[in-house]
Amino acid sequence: MRILVTGATGTVGRHVVDQLLTAGATVRALTRDPASARLPAKVELVRGDLGSPSAGVFRGVDRLFLLSAGDSARVVDLAREAGVRRIVTLTSAGIADEYQETERSVEKSGLEWTHVRPGMFAANLLDWARGIKAGGVVREPCAQARQTPVHEQDIAAVAATALLFDGHNGHTYTLSGPESLSKPEQAAAIGAAIGLDVRFEELTPHEWRARSGVPDLVADFLLDIWQRATTRPEPVLPTVEEVLGRPARTVTEWAVDHAGDFR
């Protein structure tokens, strides 16, 4: 079985590739820049852009892992015409037009489909690495935002399961990690993994914008999520465990896997 993985060089896609290879699948990976892809030698690398897809990349492909980017309606049409039978999408627990468009295109295609909708990636916590390395401190606003970071390998495992096995057709899997944690608790969970007392210092949104240099659009997006999660904590969902038959990984487990990034 040949599976085309889009977003294969991304945070989740790399693990989808690894897990499919481990399961013995033939993996083709789409990237805009094969020279810098750094994927395992067994992967068939194809150059392509989801914004201007070409039919050739889908030839001989049975199943597709589809990132929400570019012209998804066209991508889905080309995939169906080439004989792809199943599409697993990677969208988001957060509603956005782009994600909805991708999901609708896939649902209308008549192919088998599964949607994987993760919440906050634990990998976003890599943004804290510099402050932790420099002095064991995280400085951000909205300390009491309670989120449920999900390990990228768990997201990939759910996607790989839906790609490889039957029984997931027509399912939408919204994913979270196993704990709803405030930011000081997330910082402490990383500290526990690396054996360091990591402190959280709360900034005002204004101070954070000025210090972090995060572009305004991104800052607005993040502040909106954090402010919402302060009044309405993000829920812990059972989906990872239901699909995989084992608990989702904690933030401390995630930080152990990334300890080198924080030391």
- Which neighbouring-strand residues pair with 117? 174
Q: Which of 3, 12, 27, 46 binds ligand NAP (CB under 6 A)?
A: 12
Only segment of 48-56, 58-66, 133-141, 241-249 that touches ligand NAP (CB under 6 A): 48-56
Q: Should residue 51 be labelled a site residue for ligand NAP when binding is judged by CB under 6 A?
A: yes
Residues 183-242 that bind ligand NAP (CB under 6 A): none
CA dist., res. 212 & res. 220, Å (int)? 13
CA dist., res. 136 & res. 142, Å (int)? 19
Cα-Cα-Cα-Cα torsion 235, 240, 245, 247, nearest 10 degrees, comes to -60
Q: Should residue 104 be labelled a site residue for ligand NAP when binding is judged by CB under 6 A?
A: no
Helix 216-231 vs helix 205-212: angle between axes, to the nearest 10 degrees? 150
Residues 76-95 that bind ligand NAP (CB under 6 A): 90, 92
Q: Which of 11, 26, 144, 227 binds ligand NAP (CB under 6 A)?
A: 11
Q: Should residue 178 be labelled a site residue for ligand NAP when binding is judged by CB under 6 A?
A: no
CA dist., res. 4 & res. 66, Å (int)? 8
* Angle at 23 (CA atoms; ends 19, 29), nearest 5 degrees: 55
Q: Should residue 43 be labelled a site residue for ligand NAP when binding is judged by CB under 6 A?
A: no
Q: Should residue 144 be labelled a site residue for ligand NAP when binding is judged by CB under 6 A?
A: no
Q: Should residue 72 be labelled a site residue for ligand NAP when binding is judged by CB under 6 A?
A: no
- Nearest distance from residue 28's CB to ligand NAP, in Å? 13
Only segment of 80-88, 113-121, 133-141, 190-198 that touches ligand NAP (CB under 6 A): 113-121
Which DSSP string corresponds to 29-98? EEES-GGG----TTSEEEE--TTS--GGGGTT--EEEEES-S-HHHHHHHHHHHT--EEEEE--SS--HH
**Residue closer to ligand NAP, measured from CB, 136 or 233:** 233
CA dist., res. 86 & res. 63, Å (int)? 5
**Residue closer to ligand NAP, measured from CB, 10 or 233:** 10
Q: Which residues bind ligand NAP (CB under 6 A)?
A: 6-13, 30-33, 37, 49-51, 67-70, 90, 92, 118, 120-121, 124
